[in-house]
Structure 1
Amino acid sequence: MNVLVWHVHGSWTTSFVQGGHDYLIPTVRDRGPWGVGRPAAWDWPAGAVETSPERLAEADIDIVVLQRPEELELVEHWCGRRPGQDVAAVYVEHNTPRGPAAISRHPLADRDDIPIVHVTDFNQLMWDNGRAPTLVVPHGIVDPGERYTGELDRAAVVINEPVRRWRVTGTDLLPGFSTAAGIDVFGMGLGGLVERLAETPDPPAEGAVRAIDDLPQRRLHDEMTRRRLYLHPMRWTSLGLSLLEAMQLGMPVVALACTEASVAVPPEAGVVSTSVARLHRAVAELVADPDRASEMGRAARKAALAEYGLPAFLRRWDDVLGRLR
């Protein structure tokens, strides 16, 4: 099957293109948001082929996997086919609603020809999907292997653009957490983070929060697993793939009980709560008890492999694509 899919979310797309299909990846000259192409930081199979807009016009496409509303028009403009009418299509919703959650209407809510695939049950619940058919295909990730050492008594956090996204990603909570352990923030777009945190009412001590920007994936995983635990301070994002990667790497987790995190992290794998004070204590306790941290990390890996392994993810997607073709 020939599947047209944009490279929007690197980790999700890395898992998706591991299936047994041919994947057409739109690629424009400047590799802007509408044609990023294959990534340099991830290992994608040969079946994921960079394809220019000009070539898409003549391409044999069995199904289109949409991820942004604008892609509806792009498919019609580049391919000369209307998604859901001239070519089978499905829309993957990665995100929680940005507006008032209980009344946010999905962009495809008024259509019944393009199913919406939510990546979590929480997303399906919170979006007003209207008359669009919906289903849930949970995340699945490429197993990075058990690499946890926990040799550094610090917490690892992965946040992209933490200054811009601030309260959404729980960036404002980092100074408080830094009183329990040093925090190393990994991700992209970390410029100005330490300076912004220094302007908060209770700024972290010097060196308590460090920003480590834009590492290749394998090195990122290696560096994360040297830290004693993984901290997930997100208030309002969908289930972060970095959380699942940390669990499969064998890291214990401390997380806000928001969106799908409370489902993804069982009690034996970490501490999940809406009480920030409880989470501060959990960070301090794990830093002080490496044996307990290792035990929780092993449980986290077992749980994440069982619930978010790649084989089940690909089987579910094969079923979805097969029914829509």
Structure 2
Amino acid sequence: MSMATESASLPPGSPALGTPADSRVARRGWEAAIHVFLAACAGLSVLTTVGIVVVLLAESLQFFREVSPIEFLFGTEWAPLIKPQHFGILPLFCGTLLVTGGAILIAAPLGLGAAIYLSEYAPTPVREVVKPLLEVLAGIPSVVYGVLAVTTVSPIVRAIFQSDSIFNALSASIVVGLMILPTIISLSEDVLRSVPRDLRSAAFALGATKYDVTVKVVVPAALSGIMASFLLAISRAIGETMAVTLAAGATPQLTLNPLESVQTMTAYIVQVSKGDTPAGSIEYRTIFAVGLALFCITMTINLIAQWILSRMREQYE
């Protein structure tokens, strides 16, 4: 049957086959399907987050029926696996803060300096070689950094500071700082390069030097993005597990001495999750309580980050 015969057999007012109207209908169908798929992806992400929070809350409530939240939050001793038991999370929080603070003190100036060099001073061939190498550095497994800390970094630290502890917070801070360094460099360099060239040209036209343009124009214009990279790196350092488990040790204690062994919140979760602790016991439920505290800390950092970024955008707009 010819196309003319098929068109003649259609009801009056119907679009002919293969017309633009058919294409629009098919396109709308595909767009609706894509819309449903994307909405399902977003809903799955939300449901995953809600599921994690529900599990943490359910198990943590069982824990807090036996342990006072006041003791948990303000106690200075953490020994849930030995008698007499103590459930004060402050030693774990102190260890996490010590390692994270040391890591960001190491990574922030190095990362920002490297980002400024790659964005403002490095020739194009150098940038094209160095940046992919940094991305490869970001892909190294964290357990490799932990082994590096124990076999290489820790002996150097002990030799320099005359320390007797093989496992110490300083070694963990160094390797975690190396781990978060690519995040700071990559994000900060992208933000610096996104600063409009007109700002640079205007500053040069007024007689500013390259240093003045970089420090007084480019960096302040990109400061919100730089702060975002720092906060993202802090979140990564807080959640790091294997490297600090191998490097920092497993001694929960309140100390500000980076040469002593400490235990972070994530390292404790790894210790209990090995399978030696009976499921359903109060010792087992401590990992959910610690996980909930870690979740609250991370969420607080994200809220503070959003507040800082909004204030900076208002200041420079």
Structure with a larger share of its residues in helix = 2
Q: Which has the higher contact order (CA 8 A, sep 6+)?
A: 2
TM-score (norm 2): 0.26
State which structure, 1 or 2, has the greater radius of gyration over its C-alpha atoms: 2
TM superposition score normalised by structure 1: 0.25
Q: Per residue, is there more strand in 1 or in 2?
A: 1
